[in-house]
Chains A and B, each alone.
Chain A
């Protein structure tokens, strides 16, 4: 398992610059928002937590199809399926690798972008906490979506259509925690619920993803 994780991380960082793309997308999506909304600082401050959460979600969505696509093309996914490692573990490790290469950099970059968007100082810890707690759920759910669409030729758009409705509860609680934190309200409740979603998806989604992978590898 650890070898697989290390291999996936190495591939993500080295092969063809896929690593930075999600981060760059997060950057441009967030920078574009004020252009669309107008330069009034008050308005941007109010919606900053929401912008950052949606930017992170879209950046995550954009990189989902890479989770299985490369391994599917060169056949290593079939090797993994026949290896002694259970397919559920493979799916879990893939989700973890996706989070480490996409979700974690997003969390690290969020404070910089939050400064650009004039997020109030008391909102920073809550924004970081909500992103750190919530993005693993995005990766876990996304792995399931990627497993559903792995064999399809034009799976990218379909993947977004399938995954976005599944992202709704995560986004709701995550953005709510960040918003309440920014406004100085008590943000613990949505954060705890968000953690619940993350743990539940981390525990169950690998099984759903493995079931979908088995169908696609038949």
Chain B
């Protein structure tokens, strides 16, 4: 029993069908619990007031926005090395999900920044790096759409994902060089002296894990759709040949 068995589309379809309702249900429970907990049962911050509550959407969305690209990097590598179609399709399926998470992170950040920093947008390294990540998602998805041959599209987008990862990381550090930040530091790191207080941290962690399950559920669902679309395409081609 190895993980590569799930590279078989049929095996993937049966397993994902069994797992999907549980993952989706868990995501719903965790996100709803975390949000209600965070919105109604935590105190206001003494400096930020009630605007602190945007953290329960902003931080999980931002984590998933960059985490999705990392997942796409791994699935792209699996496709390039082992040629498993499910892997390439999972990367394709994940891209719009990651793009939406990134966009949610940017928009909630702007909504929070307006009352707190007095500006919707600031050319801060973190913000700008996320905007660039958003552009990477756009380009990646556009390349998938543009190439007709599915295998060639998978190859080209995988190479783009690899190269894009390197440049995204370089951009992140180049931006730190370019401008001083306005964004606060990490609020959940293990070794930091100043983390968020526990009252905020527990619902926040609930939301983060809930968003993670939401991401897994969406990607499984979309990958299943992609596999069905691929099967349909094969059927149509077979009909034409006959």
Instruction: State the A residues within 8 Å of B (CB).
Output: 144, 148-149, 151-152, 154-155, 158, 161-162, 164-166, 168-169, 172-173, 176, 190, 193, 197, 208, 211-212, 215-216, 218
Closest to B138 in A: A161
Cα–Cα distance between A86 and B176 once the two chains are bound (Å):
38
Q: Are B142 and A158 within 8 A (Cβ)? A: yes
* A-B CB contact pairs (8 Å), 15 listed: A148-B143, A152-B146, A154-B146, A161-B135, A161-B139, A162-B142, A165-B168, A166-B167, A169-B171, A169-B174, A172-B175, A208-B159, A215-B152, A215-B159, A216-B156
Contact of B139 among A154, A162, A173, A193 (CB under 8 A): A162
Q: Is the C-beta of B155 less than 8 angstroms from some C-beta in chain A?
A: yes
CB of A150 to closest CB in B, whole Å: 10
Q: Is the C-beta of B160 less than 8 angstroms from some C-beta in chain A?
A: yes
Q: Are A197 and B160 within 8 A (Cβ)? A: no
Contact of A148 among B135, B138, B156, B178 (CB under 8 A): B156
CB of A183 to closest CB in B, whole Å: 15
Contact of B167 among A151, A152, A168, A212 (CB under 8 A): A168
Q: Are B178 and A176 within 8 A (Cβ)? A: yes
Closest to B128 in A: A168
Closest to B141 in A: A161
Collect the chain A residues with CB atoms within 8 Å of residue B139's CB. Answer: 158, 161-162, 165
Closest to A190 in B: B177
Give the number of chain B interface residues (Cβ < 8 Å).
25
Interface positions, chain B 137-171, Cβ under 8 Å from A, are: 138-139, 142-143, 146-147, 152, 155-156, 159-160, 162-164, 167-168, 170-171
Closest to A154 in B: B146
Q: Are B175 and A165 within 8 A (Cβ)? A: no
Collect the chain B residues with CB atoms within 8 Å of residue A161's CB. Answer: 135, 138-139, 142
Q: Is the C-beta of B132 less than 8 angstroms from some C-beta in chain A?
A: yes
Closest to A153 in B: B146
Q: Are B146 and A149 within 8 A (Cβ)? A: yes
Q: Are B146 and A165 within 8 A (Cβ)? A: no
Q: Is the C-beta of B56 less than 8 angstroms from some C-beta in chain A?
A: no
Most chain B CB within 10 A, of A161, A190, A208, is at A161
From known contacts A168-B167, A190-B177, infer whether A211 and B159 are also in contact, taking CB-CB under 8 Å: yes
- Give me the 4 closest cross-chain CB pairs, A-B, nearest first: A169-B174, A215-B155, A165-B135, A162-B139
Q: Are B147 and A152 within 8 A (Cβ)? A: yes
Q: Is the C-beta of B136 less than 8 angstroms from some C-beta in chain A?
A: yes
Q: Are A165 and B159 within 8 A (Cβ)? A: no
Cα–Cα distance between A218 and B132 once the two chains are bound (Å):
32
Closest to B155 in A: A215
CB of A172 to closest CB in B, whole Å: 5
From known contacts A148-B143, A152-B147, infer whether A172 and B177 are also in contact, taking CB-CB under 8 Å: yes
Q: Are B159 and A212 within 8 A (Cβ)? A: yes
Collect the chain B residues with CB atoms within 8 Å of residue A216's CB. Answer: 152, 156
Collect the chain B residues with CB atoms within 8 Å of residue A190's CB. Answer: 177
Q: Are B174 and A168 within 8 A (Cβ)? A: yes
From known contacts A152-B147, A190-B177, infer whether A166 and B152 are also in contact, taking CB-CB under 8 Å: no
Q: Are B156 and A158 within 8 A (Cβ)? A: no
Closest to A152 in B: B146
Interface positions, chain B 73-132, Cβ under 8 Å from A, are: 132
From known contacts A172-B175, A193-B177, infer whether A158 and B152 are also in contact, taking CB-CB under 8 Å: no
Q: Are A172 and B178 within 8 A (Cβ)? A: yes
